[in-house]
């Protein structure tokens, strides 16, 4: 119910009462007083009802305004939260794009590395494997002899590619490349000469030895890097009147390996 509709209802009611009063015989003074009292009471009652309704509507309006303010506050909070979430989303999207770029770069490097590894694997598979390591293989002295003698190392530690000849003591280069050779020797010196020479084909490359009457065991070694052509030979030679000694300790060794082809 509202205030203005109630007033619109009361005015016609009063006019109707007045009209009826005119139409009938004029009431007595007591009747008129009684009628005015009843009418006054009804108007006051209606006014109280209207006042109560206004108070109630004000309370409801106040509550509605409070709820509206609360809702507005919540909306502002949601706007702020949405703004923060949008900012985070944009930041996450930026990070995602950066990660995509980084992953693409990593994938490119990995692909390049894999290609290089495959290339190296192919080159390594195609590269000849050449290596040997030997010792005299018998206990006792070798020499001295009246002439220079090729040393034949009978004990084979390894002979990858089978390019060292166990029967002749000669290594033959299978490919053009750079090779590393080394040798060791030992003997108990008693007014004797210990020594060995390394030859490439018929060319003396290096020599190591020792002479004396030390009455004790002596050791010596040497090494060299050579570039060889296909078919070149390398071997060890015991010079005339020299001797060496070996036993289970493998004091006399001859080793060679292909470092890389050229």
* Tens of pLDDT, residues 247-257: 888 989 999 99
136 CB-near residues (< 8 Å, 6+ apart): 142, 151, 153, 154, 155, 244, 246, 250, 252
Alpha carbon 47 to its chain's center: 85
Cα 201 to Cα 172: distance, rounded to the nearest angstrom: 10
- Contact predicate 247/225, CB 8 Å: no
Q: Model confidence over 194-211: pLDDT tens digits?
A: 899 999 999 999 999 887
Q: Model confidence over 217-233: pLDDT tens digits?
A: 788 899 999 999 999 99
The two beta strands, 253-261 and 131-135, are antiparallel
Cα 69 to Cα 40: distance, rounded to the nearest angstrom: 43
Q: Does the structure show a pLDDT above 80 at 16?
A: no
In this prediction, residues 230-245 reach a mean pLDDT of: 95
- Contact predicate 195/185, CB 8 Å: yes
Exposed, middle or buried, 228 (CB in 10 Å: 0-12/13-18/19+)? buried
Its pTM stands at: 0.56
For the chain, how big is the Rg over CA atoms in Å? 60
160 CB-near residues (< 8 Å, 6+ apart): 129, 130, 131, 132
How many alpha carbons lie under 13 Å from residue 126 in its C-beta half-sphere? 7
Query: What integer pLDDT is reported at residue 2 of this predicted model?
Result: 47
Which residue carries 């507005």 as its tokens? Answer: 72
Q: Which of 78, 241, 257 is nearest to 182 (CA)?
A: 257
Query: What integer pLDDT is reported at residue 210 of this predicted model?
Result: 80
Q: Which of 2-11, 46-55, 110-119, 134-143 is the least confident region?
A: 2-11
**Greatest pairwise CA separation for the chain in angstroms:** 181
Cα 259 to Cα 223: distance, rounded to the nearest angstrom: 14
Q: Does the structure show a pLDDT above 70 at 129?
A: yes
- Contact predicate 143/154, CB 8 Å: no
Query: What integer pLDDT is reported at residue 175 of this predicted model?
Result: 96
How many alpha carbons lie under 13 Å from residue 149 in its C-beta half-sphere? 15
- Contact predicate 180/225, CB 8 Å: yes
Q: What percent of the chain has pLDDT over 70?
A: 83
């Amino acid at each position: 119910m509202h205030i203005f509709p109630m007033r619109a209802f009361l005015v016609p009611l009063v006019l109707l009462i007045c009209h009826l009063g005119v139409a009938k015989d004029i009431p007595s003074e007591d009747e008129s007083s009684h009628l005015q009292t009843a009418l006054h009471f009804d108007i006051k009652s209606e006014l109280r009802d209207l006042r109560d309704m206004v108070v109630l509507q004000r309370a409801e309006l106040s509550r509605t305004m409070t709820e509206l303010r609360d809702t507005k506050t919540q909306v502002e909070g949601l706007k702020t939260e949405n703004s923060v979430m949008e900012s985070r989303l944009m930041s996450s999207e930026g990070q995602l794009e950066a990660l995509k770029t980084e992953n693409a770069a990593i994938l490119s490097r990995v692909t390049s590395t894999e290609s290089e590894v495959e290339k190296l694997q192919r080159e390594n598979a195609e590269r000849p494997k050449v290596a040997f390591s030997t010792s005299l293989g018998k206990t006792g002295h070798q020499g001295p002899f009246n002439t220079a003698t090729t040393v034949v190392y009978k004990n084979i530690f390894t002979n990858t590619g089978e390019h060292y000849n166990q029967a002749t003591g000669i290594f033959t280069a299978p490919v053009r490349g750079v090779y590393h050779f080394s040798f060791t020797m030992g003997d108990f010196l008693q007014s004797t000469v210990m020594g060995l020479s390394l030859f490439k084909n018929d060319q003396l490359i290096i020599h190591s030895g020792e002479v004396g009457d030390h009455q004790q065991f002596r050791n010596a070694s040497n090494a060299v890097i050579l570039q060889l052509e296909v078919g070149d030979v390398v071997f060890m030679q015991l010079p005339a009147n020299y001797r060496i000694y070996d036993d289970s300790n493998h004091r006399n060794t001859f080793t060679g390996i292909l470092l890389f082809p050229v």
